[in-house]
Chains A and B, each alone.
Chain A
Amino acid sequence: MRRFSPEDKLFRNQEMLSTELDQETVLMSIDAGAYYGMEGPARSIWEQLATPMTFSSLVDKLVEEYRVSPEACAEDLQGFLGEMEQEGLLRVG
């Protein structure tokens, strides 16, 4: 899986459909024929990415929202964003 650099710009895949169910966001990928459930931090990452931003600005936003060190946050994001990219939810520019 890729390692993101702080300057990598992150974009939502605009073709995903989404709907809100209770406290979760459900994303639908028509291409993959798959559904994804996002709750908690995953959901707020997806919401932040409504505006495309760099990896480091996303870390800054999340550090404001959650009690987490920038280092730990960046490390967790590496894994999670990598999965999102693999599933086609995210594009990196």
Chain B
Amino acid sequence: MSLHAYWAYGLRIHAEIVCPELPSPPESAGDPDVTIRLLPPVESVSESLENRYFEVRPGVFQLAVPGVGQYLVEEGNRISVEPVAGASPEAVRLFVLGSSMGALLYQRGLFPLHGSAVETPWGEMIFVGAQGVGKSTLAACFHRKGYRLLSDDVCAVKSTAEGFEVLPALAQFRLCADAFERLGSPQGARFDVDKFVVPMGKGYCPEPMPLRAIHILAYHESDIPEFKVLRGFDRVQRLVENLYRPHYLKGQSTQSDLMRMAGMIAKQTTMAEVFRRRDPEALDELVDVLESAWAERFAANPVKEEK
């Protein structure tokens, strides 16, 4: 079985499956941090797992997706996949790069948020929020305006001596049909399971970047966009609500570290609710509003020189 080398979340990944979603490593040599093994197909997922769908124990995560495959994630460095005979490679891969990778990030003590990350002169800006609120589409608007992105789906936050940084993930967007058309059906896109996949190209930022602010995107009825800074306990609560697969946290050996990390991220990072109207045109306008809000709020303390 040939091995394919990839690079995501600051990890060198060797996989026995082809993952066009994953960026190539910056240099070819070196031992992998993570290996993804493809085991022989099974007739169906095991019944004991099927009833529970997933299980978390210290250092071990198991997931069974009927008709697709079963997945085992161990010690933050191994993912094993047993596909169900006849399942499409796209579907099998979806749960490797989504659920399994999410569990692996928890095992490694990284804090995975469900959202998009945009690189700005003021630092990394993360957007989280409920399904369908326009996180990916907003990220795509920034991308079209020339900003680089680190991630469109899972933003892994890492604790460092200097503070927190966001790790670059997949170099692509997953857009719903409506957003895809609205953005003028971007080049190089393909349809995958349920979304249009659009590569970020040069608009992908492959280096970790310091985290500056986390925005919770939501709808409101007013026509005027609103930028409202969160205070106190809400900051922790809203942060934890927006974890990627939050139900994977409990039972991890890293649970207490990650809970403590949530408190520290909430304390050291600006957290704001950002309200938009439902009209799809609202997102382009929101980009301008956010640029002004950031310039006003963070101008005194940019993390790097303007380009």
Contact = CB atoms under 8 A, between A and B. Distances in A.
A21 B233 CA distance: 7
Interface of B: 231-237, 240, 249-250, 255-256, 259-260, 262-264, 266-267
A73 B283 CA distance: 50
A21 B259 contact: no
A22 B230 CA distance: 10
B232 A23 contact: yes
Q: Is the interface of B mostly helix, strand, loop or mixed?
A: helix
Contact of A30 (B235, B236, B256): B256
B236 A33 contact: no
B263 A37 contact: no
B236 A26 contact: yes
| Pairs A-B, 10 closest by C-beta atoms | A37-B233, A24-B232, A19-B263, A30-B256, A22-B232, A22-B231, A33-B250, A24-B233, A28-B259, A21-B232
Interface string A15-51: 0010111111010101001011111000000000000
A35 B240 contact: yes
B232 A30 contact: no
Nearest to B234: A37
25 contacts: A17-B256, A17-B260, A19-B263, A21-B231, A21-B235, A21-B236, A21-B267, A22-B231, A23-B232, A24-B233, A26-B263, A28-B259, A28-B260, A28-B262, A33-B249, A33-B255, A35-B233, A35-B240, A35-B263, A37-B232, A37-B234, A37-B236, A37-B237, A38-B233, A39-B232
Contacts of B240: 35
Given A22-B231, A23-B232, A35-B237, A30 B255 contact: yes
A10 B259 CA distance: 26
A50 to B, nearest CB: 19
Contacts of A23: 231-232
Contacts of A37: 232-234, 236-237
Contact of A17 (B231, B237, B263): B263
Contacts of A26: 232-233, 236, 263, 266
Contacts of B231: 21-24
A24 B236 CA distance: 11
Contact of A19 (B237, B250, B264): B264
Given A21-B236, A23-B232, A35-B259, 19 more contacts: A17-B260, A19-B263, A20-B267, A21-B232, A21-B233, A21-B235, A22-B232, A24-B231, A26-B232, A26-B233, A28-B259, A28-B262, A33-B249, A33-B255, A35-B240, A35-B262, A35-B263, A37-B237, A39-B232
